[in-house]
């Protein structure tokens, strides 16, 4: 991790928060349209944190979650991680498949495909907003899905980011459905080299 990344100015953090706000707003709208329910989102939090602390954001490393992970390619590469508590993921499947709430107790191949497609749509909506904001071309990879403890899922991300040090800039947004049944966390983790590109693109160096 470069010292520059650890010393972002308040103006730079505000710019990144605004980018997160636009992207997360797009994603929240997309999710709301998919499930036909109002989705509230928190103001994005921008933090530089040790990667092993990211699971604490979703309740701790032992919490069972479903994670959808994508790499971002283009002029500002990075990673996108969408984490849902297991119960929220099951409820989302119930809604998507027209089942009674509580019917889904495990994920089959079709359920996993549906969740990956949701991750794809959310990441696409986020990156479209980010591209519009920065005029940078950003393309998501095919999503990968895992259901495991948050700490274990993060260790997979660590392997992806291993060459980039032990800290990450994390732009994190919490989503909450109007009936509280779906709670999710969306993370954008730019590669360190991407930060300068993004900040320069929005005129904050």
Per-residue pLDDT of 143-187, as tens digits, reads 999 999 998 888 777 666 655 556 677 888 888 888 888 888 888
Domain count, the chain: 1
Nearest to 66 by CA among 149, 189, 9, 182: 149
Task: Measure the CA–CA gap between 118 and 116, rounded to whole angstroms.
Answer: 5
Give the predicted TM-score (pTM) of the model.
0.83
Q: Is the pLDDT of residue 122 over 80?
A: yes
CATH number of the domain within which 82 lies: 3.40.1550.10
Domain that holds residue 84: 3-201
* CA atoms lying within 13 Å on the CB side of residue 174: 10
What is the model's pLDDT at position 1? 45
What average pLDDT does the segment 129-142 reach? 91
What is the model's pLDDT at position 164? 54
What is the model's pLDDT at position 162? 57
Q: What percent of the chain has pLDDT over 90?
A: 27
Between 6 and 176, the higher pLDDT residue: 176
What average pLDDT does the segment 106-131 reach? 91
What is the model's pLDDT at position 109? 94
What is the model's pLDDT at position 3? 53
What average pLDDT does the segment 84-109 reach? 91
pLDDT per position as a tens digit, 47-93: 877 777 878 888 899 999 999 999 999 999 988 888 889 999 999 99
What is the model's pLDDT at position 5? 57
Task: Measure the CA–CA gap between 155 and 21, rounded to whole angstroms.
Answer: 27
Task: Measure the CA–CA gap between 183 and 41, rounded to whole angstroms.
Answer: 10
């Amino acid at each position: 991790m470069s010292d520059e990344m650890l010393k972002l100015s308040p103006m730079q953090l505000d710019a990144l928060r605004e980018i997160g706000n636009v992207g997360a707003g797009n994603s929240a709208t997309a999710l709301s349209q998919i499930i036909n329910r109002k989705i509230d989102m928190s103001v994005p939090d921008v933090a530089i944190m040790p990667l092993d602390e990211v699971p604490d954001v979703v309740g701790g490393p032992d919490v069972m979650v479903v994670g959808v992970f994508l790499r971002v390619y283009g002029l500002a590469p990075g990673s996108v991680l969408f984490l849902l508590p297991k119960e929220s993921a099951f409820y989302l499947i119930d809604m998507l498949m027209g089942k009674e709430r509580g019917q889904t107790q495990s994920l089959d191949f079709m359920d996993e495909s549906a969740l990956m497609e949701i991750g794809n749509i959310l990441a696409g909506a986020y990156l479209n907003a980010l591209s519009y904001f920065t005029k940078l071309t950003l393309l998501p990879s095919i999503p990968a899905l895992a259901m495991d403890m948050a700490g274990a899922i993060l260790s997979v991300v660590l392997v992806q980011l291993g060459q980039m040090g032990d800290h990450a800039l994390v732009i994190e947004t919490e989503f909450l459905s109007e009936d509280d049944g779906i709670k999710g966390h969306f993370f954008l983790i730019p590669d360190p080299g991407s930060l300068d590109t993004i900040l320069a693109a929005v005129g904050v160096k």
